[in-house]
A and B are shown apart, each in its own frame.
Chain A
């Protein structure tokens, strides 16, 4: 692979990709986050002990759950959009519209879940 890039990180950050770029970046961050989450969760379940319990306590905390649920749900819904558009390539010209549909599906589900987690969390549940 003759990969050669003459683009610096600063130029990359200033790239104005708009909506599609935003979902691309969120999909990446969410994927990396889940890989980290699952790895630590498997390690803590496998080895147990004090450190394992400490890790699992963080995962059960409602602040962490609001955070991780955003990325898991976004990765799942955005992944479904990518899969549908890639398996039916005739839909690719409509990808901006598909991204609007994706947000319309994601935001109500996430808002409801975040509300429930927040209410239980603040009630000390």
Chain B
């Protein structure tokens, strides 16, 4: 049974409950983060990063395209990095990453916490953490 259901196509497995939808979301959000990070890196290269930033700085910008991440580089003018467009990209990356991360925490809690009540508590704490981190992150992105 195990080997058979594993080889079914995505549509053949049926997306009937929350956990299976989140299973697909985890995979697709991983691809989404790859796309957003590549997009931010290409954007930085177009904005002149290839002359004024080293690879580590470009990656730091790529993992979170927030203007404070280019503040310590040799970029003469950080204004192009601080546009609302990049704030939107950074917000999208933050929200996708926290949603991906909180489900990871929930899956790990489900695997190692054997009591029903303990899993519920960790689930609730993870969700509270996700919401507060998203709000704090958005505040940082839009006020920096």
1/0 contact string of A25-50 vs chain B (CB within 8 Å): 00010011011001100110110000
Q: How far is the CB of A4 from chain B (nearest CB, A)?
A: 8
- Please judge, given known A-B contacts A3-B114, A28-B108, A35-B101, whether A80 and B137 are in contact too, CB under 8 Å: no
Contacts of B63 in A (CB 8 A): 72
Count of chain B residues near A, Cβ 8 A: 28
Q: How far is the CB of A81 from chain B (nearest CB, A)?
A: 10
A5 close to chain B: CB less than 8 A: yes
Q: How far is the CB of A6 from chain B (nearest CB, A)?
A: 10
B9 close to chain A: CB less than 8 A: yes
Count of chain A residues near B, Cβ 8 A: 29
A92 close to chain B: CB less than 8 A: yes
B8 close to chain A: CB less than 8 A: yes
1/0 contact string of B129-144 vs chain A (CB within 8 Å): 1000100110110000
- Please judge, given known A-B contacts A31-B108, A89-B9, whether A5 and B114 are in contact too, CB under 8 Å: yes
Contacts of A86 in B (CB 8 A): 27
- B 73-117 contacts with A by CB, 8 A: 97-98, 101, 104-105, 108, 110, 114, 116
Query: How many A-B contacts if CB must be within 8 Å?
Result: 57
Q: How far is the CB of A38 from chain B (nearest CB, A)?
A: 7
- Inter-subunit contact A35/B6 (CB<8 Å): no
Q: How far is the CB of A62 from chain B (nearest CB, A)?
A: 10
Contacts of A76 in B (CB 8 A): 34
Binding site for B on A (CB under 8 A): 1, 3-5, 28, 31-32, 34-35, 38-39, 42-43, 45-46, 65, 72, 76, 79-80, 82-83, 86-87, 89-90, 92, 116-117
Binding site for A on B (CB under 8 A): 6-10, 27, 30-31, 34, 55-56, 63, 68, 97-98, 101, 104-105, 108, 110, 114, 116, 129, 133, 136-137, 139-140
